[in-house]
Amino acid sequence: MVTNKGDPSIRVFLFQQSRVEGAFDNELDRVHHIAHALLTRKGAFHVKAHYSSSQLTCWFADDAYRYRVYTKEDVLTEGFIEQFRD
């Protein structure tokens, strides 16, 4: 017996959703370069790129219990990566 869980009024529209491109989608190479630099040179040990909301969530070794969220305005601003210590 198969049962469907969840609110039927929401479930009926689930597969009609479509993804809208965000600011990170147009700058994929740049965002990936920044994430790579944070991981390899700037002390980050975990970086999540949230493409739909155009945000980076980062954890750094010098403060491992606190994550930081950077918006597209932060990340795509010239010189963003230079604000972090090597």
Answer positive or negative: Cα dihedral of 10, 69, 60, 27: positive
Please report whether residue 71 resides in a domain: yes
49: containing domain:
19-78
pTM, full prediction? 0.78
Please report whether residue 27 resides in a domain: yes
Residue pLDDT, tens place only, 17-64: 888 888 899 999 999 999 999 999 999 999 999 998 999 999 999 999
Number of domains in the chain: 1
Please report whether residue 8 resides in a domain: no
Q: Which amino acid is at 53?
A: S
Please report whether residue 86 resides in a domain: no
Please report whether residue 14 resides in a domain: no
Please report whether residue 11 resides in a domain: no
pLDDT at 19: 80
Please report whether residue 10 resides in a domain: no
Residue of 7, 77, 80, 15 whose CA lies nearest to 47 = 80
Q: Tokens at residue 81, please?
A: 């990566």
Please report whether residue 67 resides in a domain: yes
